[in-house]
Structure 1
Amino acid sequence: MNEQTEKAHHISEKKVPHLFRPIYQSKAFRALWIGNTLSVFGSSITGIIVPILVYSLTQSTVSMGFVMTAYMLPNVIILPFAGIIVDKINRAKLMRLTDLIRCAMAFSIMTLAFNHLLTIHMMMFIAAILGTMDGLFQPAFSAMRATIFTSEIRTSANALNQLSVQSMRLIGPALGGLIVAVWSAPIGFAIDGLTYLISFVCLLYLTKEGEIQTDTARTNSTSFLQDCFGGFEVIKKNTWLWVTILAFSLINICTTGISAIILPWLLNVHDQFPSYIYGLVMSFQAVGAALAAFIFGMRKVWRHRGWIAYLGIAAGGCAFLIMPLIHSSAAIMLLMMVEGYGSMTFGLIWETSLQELVEPEAFGRVASIDMLGSFALIPAGYMFTGWFADAVGSITAMLLLSMLTLLFIALSLSIPAIRHFD
């Protein structure tokens, strides 16, 4: 009877498409995936509602800038130290703590807003706490993925995770707008708080997976300063890691500046499309990303990953290069889908490569350095892009930044270790 049951289980497992096997095979994956999917859904709702609340309080773009700075600054500051914390304590417990605090902050905003007690200073204070918690949560979440996404399910697990994230980022903003229109903005924070609470419950199943396996003698012999630079020691040993982190600290300045600053101007001011077109364009970016995640997850192994990853970003750079030269909203939507597809392809290959190359006990520090490289220069990039577009003209700036992106990609691909990464 046991033999028959095992055989039936094996047959049914073979019928499951590779993309969905992590759900079928791993209880730990299910818990992490459900919790993260729902918390991203809640954050996508409040991402639309926060600007509405800020502008209802002050009608000032400067105030919105202060709120975003209050969120981003502690996030960036804590990242180098977050990696050490993540590699020292149980990652699941750290994630549960951050979920509880973020849940409390979401319900605090809801309560204050319902009682007409919310002020811009309170928003900045809460944004700073949320930024700190996110700076702790993300490296821990990245390290947990490296542990739970084993080699048997790694490509499909990463793809399914990103597929669900992109889906929530499509649904969440639309629901957020509906909540504001039909009910009240604070309701969105109640939903966000509830999703953090559900994520907390899901993480209760992962305490064992969050444990750190370290060499006690080695741990006791290292100083805090050595721990701080431990992630750099791991990264510098692998050309694929250090070149890519360095390259994307520069590439991200170009691409995020185009996407966040110049593209809205191109659509709303230069081409004078209706305001909803910008929303559709960004939705097509998410569609492209979801499509890339779906395709990536259908195979267990991908070859020539260095070429595929960087050519994906190059496709996005070419899409940005073409956009100022055309005046069709449908064509721009398709180009944005190409950009989303290429960016997600790179992201998935990068994530799986980190999980393969970095030891679990050092993953938090490497992940925090990776995030620091990605995020630290973005605020300066926004400022530079705004100044540069004003100085040379937005169309010229978009063309030059796109070409600069392609140049950085070409320089990276000129290095054999990047081209030959398989």
Structure 2
Amino acid sequence: MPKPLKIEGMSIFIVVWLGQLVSLLGSSLSNFALDVWVYQQSGSVTQLSFLILFTTLPSVIISPFAGVLVDSWNRRWVMILSDSGAALSTLTLAALLVTGKIQIWHIYLASAVISSFSAFQWPAYSAATTLLVPKKYLGRASGMTHLAYALGQLFSPILGGVLLGIIQLSGIFIVDLGSFVFALTTLLLVRFPHHKVTRHQQINKTSLLTQAIYGFHYLKARSGLLALLLFLASSNFLVGILQVLIYPLILSFASSAQLGTIMSLGGVGMLTGGLLMSTWGSGRQNYINIFFCFMLLNGFSMIVAGFYPSIFMLNIAAFLFFLGLPFISSSCQVIFQKKVAPDVQGRVFSLKNAISGSCLPLAYLVAGPLADRIFEPLMTVNGALAGNIGKLIGTGPGRGIGLMFIVFGTLTMLMTITAYQYAPLRLVEHELPDIVTS
């Protein structure tokens, strides 16, 4: 085993971040390739939706319990074991593919296993960041984390489409395995500060379920944090519905090449937001105000996207929407990192991920029926709303989905304005003391 390097604080975070960046790029590339491969092999949107469900649902279910263990274990070793488990699952898929024995249910199972390991990985990473990074740089560190995610979102479709034709799915698996090895090497080269076990853990040395529930009680006692989490979950539900419908909306009047251009510009927006947050996110910013401002921008972007079938307008909407995501996610993350005690961050962050992510499977399930059975029929040439709203946004294929974007964008803005009136949420940074003092 490599001897740990004698580096501290922000330097350790940068080393770990670099490893996780490479790992995330490899995983994003592999996930994109698997989505394409499953759809090509099955020709079924349902099979693809099942893959998305198996990729998200296990993490949602396991997260509250994983957080308890993250608080009790060495967070560096949690990340090492999580990366190792995900790498082993990818290696198994690669072996099945090479031997010609792979079936779609193998991919479902492997995706569920990888999702389960991610339930440990991300809370450990977030909680470790709080220990490694000085308080004034938490915004910058969170921006860097979301910058890594943005790079994966931007480059995985571009590289995945090219590499699938050159090195095939088996070659992409090898690239992904190499990224895991790099991430594991960086983790083996560093040491994390030990987090102290305080009364929060001593009180709750009971059953795993009791300790998991403690994360909810911890948030319930801090109404501003609980309100922020519930607001985020509600927003994710609306965004999850539109996430399913963005491709049908664009393809209702544009080509697949134009779809690629719009999504790539969205990736550029996310990359820009991540870069800005990673360079600007230090000092004494009011993160809750940043959160609210960019939530309003996201709602406005949804309205713009649905209002008129225009490539130009969709390019603007995509750029603005994805530009705001790093600011929203980073601001929320920094608030939680500052206000939640380090010894319970694992279970609280896991609960945060579980609650905010639990809305996505429901969103995926209702998106199709809402579009096909309600909104699209309303906006046909002879639909019930053709004579009024149809005169503003047009009628025909895709216009019902466009109306959904307008409605949900408006709801997002109204939710944001309403949430801002709730004092414990608006004043969460002032009323709750900072746990992190360095």
TM range (shorter): 0.7 to 0.9
Structure 2 residue identity aligned to 1:293: G
Structure 2 residue identity aligned to 1:80: P
1:298-331 Cα deviation digits (max 9, x unpaired): 2522433322211201111111112222233132
1:263: Cα distance to partner? 1.6
Pick aligned residue for 2:176 from 183, 187, 192: 192
Pick aligned residue for 2:99 from 110, 115, 140: 115
Equivalent residue, structure 2, for 1:223: 206
1:109: Cα distance to partner? 1.6
Equivalent residue, structure 2, for 1:14: none
| Equivalent residues in 2 for 1:232-243, closer than 5 Å | 232-243=216-227
Contact 1:28 1:205 in 2 (8 A): no
Structure 1 residue identity aligned to 2:195: I
Structure 1 residue identity aligned to 2:341: E
Cα pair distance change 1:299/1:208, threshold 3 Å:
closer
1:195: Cα distance to partner? 0.7
Equivalent residue, structure 2, for 1:256: 240
1:240: Cα distance to partner? 2.6
Distance 1:146 1:27 in 2: 13
1:160-219 Cα deviation digits (max 9, x unpaired): 23223312332232111111122212111111111111111111134433x331037962
Establish whether residue 317 from structure 1 lines up as the match of residue 299 from structure 2. Answer: yes
Distance 2:170 2:423 in 1: 53
Equivalent residue, structure 2, for 1:172: 156
**Which region of structure 1 is more displaced relative to structure 2, 64-73 or 211-220?**
211-220
* SS of residue matched to 1:327: coil
Equivalent residue, structure 1, for 2:290: 308
1:369: Cα distance to partner? 1.0
1:67-106 Cα deviation digits (max 9, x unpaired): 3333323221111101101111111111111111111121
Equivalent residue, structure 2, for 1:408: 415
Distance 1:331 1:276 in 2: 16
Equivalent residue, structure 2, for 1:294: 275
Cα pair distance change 1:183/1:399, threshold 3 Å:
same
Establish whether residue 61 from structure 1 lines up as the match of residue 42 from structure 2. Answer: no
Contact 1:313 1:339 in 2 (8 A): no
**Which region of structure 1 is more displaced relative to structure 2, 328-337 or 190-199?**
328-337
Distance 1:88 1:232 in 2: 17
Equivalent residue, structure 2, for 1:13: none
Alignment RMSD (CA, Å): 2.2
**Which region of structure 1 is more displaced relative to structure 2, 220-229 or 182-191?**
220-229
Equivalent residue, structure 2, for 1:274: 255
Dislocated runs of 4+, deviation >4 Å: none
Q: Any unmatched runs of 5+ in structure 1?
A: 1-22
Contact 1:307 1:418 in 2 (8 A): no
Distance 2:419 2:36 in 1: 41
Pick aligned residue for 2:354 from 348, 362, 372: 372
Contact 1:281 1:336 in 2 (8 A): yes
Distance 1:299 1:52 in 2: 36
| Equivalent residues in 2 for 1:17-96, closer than 5 Å | 26-96=10-80
**Which region of structure 1 is more displaced relative to structure 2, 345-354 or 150-159?**
150-159
Cα pair distance change 1:49/1:152, threshold 3 Å:
same
Structure 1 residue identity aligned to 2:258: I
Equivalent residue, structure 1, for 2:339: 357
Distance 1:185 1:149 in 2: 38
Cα pair distance change 1:40/1:217, threshold 3 Å:
closer
Contact 1:45 1:175 in 2 (8 A): yes
Distance 1:314 1:328 in 2: 22
Distance 1:299 1:126 in 2: 36
1:372: Cα distance to partner? 0.9
Contact 2:273 2:326 in 1 (8 A): yes
Distance 2:234 2:137 in 1: 32
Cα pair distance change 1:282/1:240, threshold 3 Å:
farther
Equivalent residue, structure 2, for 1:160: 144
1:371-393 Cα deviation digits (max 9, x unpaired): 01111111111222222222122
Cα pair distance change 1:116/1:343, threshold 3 Å:
same
Structure 1 residue identity aligned to 2:229: I
Question: Percent identity at matched positions?
Answer: 20
Cα pair distance change 1:188/1:333, threshold 3 Å:
same
Establish whether residue 265 from structure 1 lines up as the match of residue 248 from structure 2. Answer: yes
1:226: Cα distance to partner? 3.6
1:359-407 Cα deviation digits (max 9, x unpaired): 1100011101110111111111122222222212223322222222222
Contact 1:90 1:207 in 2 (8 A): no
Contact 1:289 1:343 in 2 (8 A): yes
Distance 1:221 1:348 in 2: 30
Cα pair distance change 1:216/1:401, threshold 3 Å:
closer
* SS of residue matched to 1:213: coil
Alignment length (residue pairs) = 396
Distance 2:18 2:95 in 1: 27
Distance 2:239 2:137 in 1: 31
1:230: Cα distance to partner? 2.0
